[in-house]
Amino acid sequence: MGFDLTPVLPELFLLVAGLVLLVVGVLTREGEAARVVATLSVLALVIGSIIIAASDKSPQLALGGHYVADGFSAFLKILLFVGAALAILLAQGFLHDRRIARFEYSLLVLFSTLGMSMMVSANSFLALYMGLELSALPLYVLAAFDRDNLRSTEAGLKYFVLGALASGMLLYGCSLVYGFAGTLSFDVLADAFGAATAERPPALLPLGAVVGLVFIIAGLAFKLAAVPFHMWTPDVYEGSPTPVTAFLATASKVAAAGLAVRVLMHPFGEWTAQWQQVVVLISIASMLLGAFAAIGQANIKRLMAYSGIGHIGYALVGVAAGSERGVYAVLVYLAIYLVMTLGTFGCILLMRRQGQYVEQISDLAGLSRQRPMAAAALGVFMFSQAGIPPLAGFFGKLLVFLAAVEAGLTWLAVLGVLSSCVAAFYYLRIVKVMYFDEAAEPFDTAVHPAVTGITAITALATLFFIVWPGPLLRAAGAAAAALVR
């Protein structure tokens, strides 16, 4: 194997950009540094996406087989880079208003994105773990970024402690798989656990490897914030600065979901029966908890936490299908989820009264009269998240449920539909509060153009997805085909 670095180009570029921007941030004058580094970080992420879009999509191994670049990783990386760039743009006004604008924010997002991109390209358990840690460590710091705020530091500490526990479980699972299979490489594992060939009898999955797999799923479920590993989510989402919550809820989840799909479909692809029941259980529990626990929430960030748990449950329905159709549905779902959620957080960032960010659901009252466009955008996101046609969110759910029905999991799809009916209640309640409740105080009229722009674009994308769904569906189809060979 030669030492070809071409497949790793996006990561290398992001790494070098991060290191250069660190120096730029330190050398630039204090008042300017945050803005300059943020702009350059967004630029770096955009260039990174272009590099990926232009790269060869055929599967390529690199760096001793620990790294793989294929259509699947390319699709997810572009999602991640775009999500991270939008998270940086969303944050600037907020950080400035809260007087915590420092250039480290953009850098940490950049390094975390680098870690996520390594996660979705991992081709061995070691690479998986390294990517996971690199993506998680900046997130712990970001959660506590508003360091003089008690809730923010509490969120950071909680996330850190529970994240360390999850890493421990994941590593324990990896070591069990290694102990019973003798290798960490996904390719070799897929080969060893693979289907029987002419010269070889059918492989056996040792009990220890099954136990290891369960531990790995548990570790990944923590990153996904899936039930029963979701306990940290509401507190961390509520305490973290809002743009950080947006990043946590989007890019971090997308990367973990991509990783979970790769681990389950590639090395353990022949053993769907072994992991399907675990994934189904996690999926049902997440959907139900996401639907019922969100009803009583008064804080919109906490509500988004439970809504995110529910969404991961729906995405896992597609994973549980264990087929190419399932992977395809998951990828489409994740892309739509990313856009909707970023837009929703854009709307939350638009809610300000007398210079203070408000985040109670009751604070939304009267939004429709004072800020009709913002209310309309939030309405679109809420209807879309509830899965009401013809908005984008409906198609994500439709594809996921179709994949489940095709895989013979009709009852799971039925449960999903029922729980999304329950979830529709609290999404619609927000619309009701916006349009029919009397406002107490006026909202601030001064807005940050970046936040408004992102909200408008994501709202339009959600609204008009039905008109031009081709590009996303084709890209997701190619990505799924690349993984399930």
Provide the mask over 177-216, with x wherever binding to other proteins is found by CB under 8 A and - wherever it is not.
--xxxxxxx-xx--xxx------x--xx-xxxx-x-----
Binding of other proteins by 95 (CB under 8 A): no
Nearer residue to other proteins within complex by CB, 209 or 374: 209
Binding of other proteins by 144 (CB under 8 A): yes
Closest alpha carbon to 51 in 24, 32, 26, 77: 77
Binding of other proteins by 138 (CB under 8 A): yes
Q: What are phi and psi of 69, to 5 degrees?
A: -115, 120
Residue 355 neighbours by CB distance under 10 Å: 8
Mention every residue, 6+ apart, whose C-beta is less than 8 A from residue 16.
none
Query: Which of 42, 95, 114, 415 contacts other proteins by CB under 8 A?
Result: 114
For residue 4, give both structure tokens.
């070809």
Amino acid identity at 352: R
Amino acid identity at 320: A
Query: Which of 36, 53, 126, 190 contacts other proteins by CB under 8 A?
Result: 126
204 exposure class (CB count in 10 Å sphere: 0-12, 13-18, 19+): exposed
Find the shortest distance in angstroms from Cβ 64 to other proteins. Answer: 4
Residue recorded with tokens 């991270």? 84
What is the β-pairing status of strands 67-69 and 356-357?
A: unpaired
Binding of other proteins by 154 (CB under 8 A): no
Please write down the long-range contacts of 73-77, taking CB distance under 8 Å and 24 or more positions apart: 73/117, 73/120, 73/121, 73/258, 74/479, 75/331, 75/475, 75/476, 75/478, 75/479, 76/120, 76/254, 76/255, 76/258, 76/331, 76/334, 76/479, 77/10, 77/48, 77/49, 77/52, 77/117, 77/120, 77/121
Query: Which of 57, 66, 98, 448 contacts other proteins by CB under 8 A?
Result: 66
Provide the mask over 3-42, with x wherever binding to other proteins is found by CB under 8 A and - wherever it is not.
------------x------x--------------------
Find the shortest distance in angstroms from Cβ 305 to other proteins. Answer: 23
Find the shortest distance in angstroms from Cβ 168 to other proteins. Answer: 14
Find the shortest distance in angstroms from Cβ 108 to other proteins. Answer: 7
Q: By the 8 A CB rule, do 184 and 125 touch?
A: yes
Nearer residue to other proteins within complex by CB, 48 or 326: 48
Nearer residue to other proteins within complex by CB, 147 or 474: 147
- What CA–CA distances, in Å, run from 213 to 168, 170, 174, 268? 14, 9, 8, 9
Nearer residue to other proteins within complex by CB, 132 or 482: 132
Query: Which of 9, 130, 388, 481 contacts other proteins by CB under 8 A?
Result: 130
Query: Which of 75, 140, 247, 401 contacts other proteins by CB under 8 A?
Result: 140
Residue recorded with tokens 């793989």? 68
Nearer residue to other proteins within complex by CB, 131 or 219: 131
- Applying CB under 8 A, the site for other proteins has a residue count of 50
Query: Which of 111, 271, 328, 333 contacts other proteins by CB under 8 A?
Result: 111
What is the β-pairing status of strands 60-62 and 352-353?
A: unpaired
Contact residues for other proteins, defined by CB under 8 A: 15, 22, 63-67, 102, 104, 107-108, 111, 114, 118, 124, 126-127, 130-131, 133-134, 137-138, 140-141, 144-145, 147, 156, 176, 179-185, 187-188, 191-193, 200, 203-204, 206-209, 211
